[in-house]
Amino acid sequence: MNKSEVKVIGILERVGGFASAQELYQLLQRNGESIGLTTVYRALQSLVSDKIVDQLRRDDGEAIYRLCGDSHHHHLVCKLCGSTVEIEGSAIERWTKTVAEQHGFREVGHTAEVFGICPNC
């Protein structure tokens, strides 16, 4: 765990949700941190392989990251303004596990995100 990784974790904490590498880089710049885009990517790779950060994909293929750790949860994302609400998903957890085991799958994980238009939009 080096200095850059600490910076990236810090900004992820402030974000409190998903962000892409490019977004994180810009946020760090705005905060006056001196860090290169390459280093942000490398820190994220390292954190993902250490299971400190979760990585998934936006619909457009861009990778997005968030701190893992708190309880496993999902997101309700507004299609228009992008605001997100964390939602609990124990129903999903159970469904995932059941379905996968029925088909003999091991080491099961899942992605589930809900999209809609929030009350403000």
Partner DNA sequence: AGCAGAAATGAAAATGATTTTCATTTTCAA
Partner DNA sequence: TTGAAAATGAAAATCATTTTCATTTCTGCT
Compute how many residues bind its own copies; rule: CB under 8 A. 34
CA separation for the pair 86, 88 (Å, rounded): 7
CA separation for the pair 27, 13 (Å, rounded): 12
Compute how many residues bind DNA; rule: CB under 7 A. 19
- Residues of span 68-107 touching its own copies by CB under 8 A: 76, 78-79, 85, 87, 89, 91-92, 95-96, 99-100, 103-107
- Residues of span 44-73 touching its own copies by CB under 8 A: 57, 59, 61-63
| Cβ-defined contacts of 82-87 (< 8 Å, 24+) | 83/118, 83/120, 84/17, 84/18, 86/17, 87/114
**Does residue 43 sit in helix, strand or coil?**
helix
Q: Which amino acid is at 106?
A: R
Least separation in angstroms between CB 12 and its own copies:
20
CB-CB neighbours of 41 under 10 Å: 16
Summarize as ranges the residues that interact with its own copies (CB under 8 A).
57, 59, 61-63, 76, 78-79, 85, 87, 89, 91-92, 95-96, 99-100, 103-119
Residues that bind DNA (CB under 7 A): 2-4, 20-22, 34-39, 41-43, 45, 61-63
